[in-house]
Every structure is written in structure tokens, then in C-alpha cells.
Amino acid sequence: MVRFSVPEMHCAGCIASVTRAIQGGDKAAIVTASLETHLVEVTSHLPVAQLAGLIEDAGFTVKPVA
């Protein structure tokens, strides 16, 4: 599981966009997002950089969280 900070994620629509973007790259990905922490947790076989790219392509600033 990898964790990303997505500060611009502010509503359920944003979560839907992020989830759709990730699952566009890996339809089996499990995505959990929190509006309180702006964290997105992803379980996927894709590498971290590629997951970050998918989120970015959806229009969000993203950074991996250690």
C-alpha cells in the first residue's frame, strides 16, 4: 500500500476523480481517500511514480508520503 498527499482534494467529486484516474491505470486498484487528511491510500501493482502520474493527470498536485 502506498500513500499520497493530495492537498487539492476537497470533496466527494475530487475523490471520485482521483479514484477513477487510478483505476484507469489499474482497474483492480483499491483506493481509500480522506477529505480530512487529504491522503489517498492505494493498493496496486503499479509503481509509485506511475500512480502519482495518474493522479497528476487528473489535475491534482500530489506527493508521495513516506
Binding residues vs Cu ion (CB under 5 A): 10-11, 13-14
State which residue, 10 or 20, has the beta carbon closest to Cu ion.
10
Shortest Cβ distance from residue 66 to Cu ion (Å)?
Answer: 26
State which residue, 11 or 66, has the beta carbon closest to Cu ion.
11
Query: Residue 58 — φ and ψ, nearest 5°?
Result: -80, 0
State which residue, 18 or 51, has the beta carbon closest to Cu ion.
18
Asked if 25 contacts 50 with a C-beta cutoff of 8 angstroms, the reply is yes
